[in-house]
Amino acid sequence: MSKIRAAKVIVTCPGRNFVTLKIETEDGLYGVGDATLNGRELAVASYLNDHVVPCLIGRDAHRIEDIWQYLYRGAYWRRGPVTMSAIAAVDMALWDIKGKVAGLPLYQLLGGASRDGVMVYCHANGVTIEETIEAARGYMAQGYKAVRLQAGVPGLKSTYGVPKDKKPYEPADADIPTENLWSTEKYMRSLPALFEAGRDKLGWDVHLLHDAHHRLTPIEAGRLGKDLEPFRMFWLEDAVPAENQAAFRLIRQHTTTPLAVGEIFNSIWDCKQLIEEQLIDYIRATVVHAGGITHLRRIAALADLYHVRTGCHGATDLSPITMGAALHFNLSIPNFGIQEHMHHAAVTETVFPHAYSYKDGYMHPGEAPGHGVDIDEKEAAKYPYKRAYLPVNRLEDGTLYNW
């Protein structure tokens, strides 16, 4: 028994907004969890402060599964990104505490290491194909075995994944959503040339990935997948919005390009059909948005039965705490695929000291007890919350579309 004495929510903006939950026990230990939901941060902070924290005080921090069920079933209103991010933060903090009590890194509590390191992919971005290839070369020189290629689309002023003014890419860039122009036709025409150049200039030994960011219809995705087949991609990500899971059947009928989806999923119910019908190859749900380590393990166990591997989301809006927790999860499960690695700003790293590290294309969570990521509250207090939204897309006739 290790009673929860206090829990507090820390909102900070070192380069971008993050929401962190810190849980303390009566025996003087603490654990931290990430609760960041990009563009909707304060909704999760309120959910935690107003509705979760009061229910945690006095509970046994060791009863992780029971507390998970208590917050999920007990709310009566199940699922949704706000609820599941809040539950995830509690779950991460409790696993952190359990690891500290045991004196073991979290992956040891999850069954131990199933591999030596966690293969990660990074983002090579550029306005032109040449710039993107150049960026990919730079990452390959650092040892990366897998690279995501995103380039500007001729005729569109800005595109998802492509930075402005050569600054590090951060999509939540305005206090009211930026409006971008989108054309599926222009995009579909431009993409095969990017991957042709990719194989031509980068060779065949590197894994190449791409994120379509939910902007196609199933039949368009089938066509794009087919067009990209000669380049043997590692995956095509988020080809279409996935609320309608059955829609992926149509994509599968037309292409053997491997499919990844799920960064916006928050529960096993969002991917049950996709997994059971083997409509995808990689599930991208991650610790913070899909209910924590407890729930993500359940998703991975289901996926394992159907040859679906994991490919956790790892953009900069997932805090270093989620990265740390995800690395322990990735190291332990049998059906790990790959982990996304988008570099946090240096100022973010000063607020979240961590035990994980990168070497030669692989990351490792480190050997610190718990998940190995902390928050420096003094540093965090220097950076007050700043409202920031993701952009929206409109078609050329003004119709609001998917971003």
Q: How far apart are CA 388 and CA 301, in angstroms?
A: 35
CB 340, min distance to ligand EZ4, A: 6
Q: Give the residue, chosen from 98, 213, 344, 371, that forms a contact with ligand EZ4 under the rule CB under 6 A.
A: 213
What's the N-to-C CA distance of the chain in angstroms?
A: 47
**SS3 assignment for 291-357:** CHHHHHHHHHHHHHHCCCEEEECCCCCCCHHHHHHHHHHHHHCCCEEEEECCCCCHHHHHHCCECCE
Which positions from 262 to 301 touch ligand EZ4 by CB under 6 A, shown as an x/- string?
A: -x--------------------------------------
Tell me how crowded residue 394 is: count the other CB atoms within 10 A of its CB: 14
Pairing of strands 357-359, 336-340: unpaired
Pick the stretch among 246-254, 311-319, 352-360, 368-376 that binds ligand EZ4 (CB under 6 A).
Answer: 311-319
Identify how many contiguous H helices and E strands the chain contains and give both numbers: 14, 16
Q: Is 38 near ligand EZ4 (CB under 6 A)?
A: yes
Asked if 354 interacts with ligand EZ4 (CB under 6 A), we say no
Of 14, 99, 152, 171, the one binding ligand EZ4 (CB under 6 A) is 171
Q: Is 356 a catalytic residue?
A: no
Q: Which of helix, strand or coil describes residue 8?
A: strand
Q: Of ligand EZ4, Co ion, none, which one sits near residue 315, judging by CB under 5 to 8 A according to partner kind?
A: ligand EZ4
Catalytic residue among 123, 207, 210, 213: 213
DSSP annotation string for 107-170: HHHTT--SSSSEEEEEEEEESSHHHHHHHHHHHHHTT-SEEEEEE--TT-S--TT--STTPPP-
Q: Please tell me whether residue 341 binds ligand EZ4 under the rule CB under 6 A.
A: no
Residue nearer to ligand EZ4 on the CB measure, 237 or 374: 237
Residue with smallest beta-carbon separation from Co ion:
211
Catalytic residue among 121, 160, 282, 356: 160
Nearest-approach distance from CB 338 to Co ion, in angstroms: 13
- Binding residues vs Co ion (CB under 5 A): 211, 263
With b for 16 or more beta-carbon neighbours within 10 A and e for fewer, the 342-371 pattern comes to bebeeebeebbebbbebeebbbbbbebbbb
Q: Which of 34, 91, 211, 220 binds ligand EZ4 (CB under 6 A)?
A: 211
195 vs 282 by CB, closer to Co ion: 282
Q: Active site includes 51? A: no
Query: Starting at the edge strand that comes first in sequence, how are the strands of the sheet with 30-34 ordered?
Result: 4-12, 18-25, 30-34
In this structure, the number of other CB atoms found within 10 A of the CB of residue 200 comes to 10
Minimum separation from the CB atom of position 315 to Co ion (A): 7
CB closer to Co ion out of 96 and 211: 211
Q: Which does 96 bind (CB under 5 to 8 A by kind): ligand EZ4, Co ion, none?
A: none
Positions in the binding site for ligand EZ4 (CB under 6 A):
38, 171, 211, 213, 263, 313, 315, 317, 340, 390
Catalytic positions, written as ranges? 160, 213
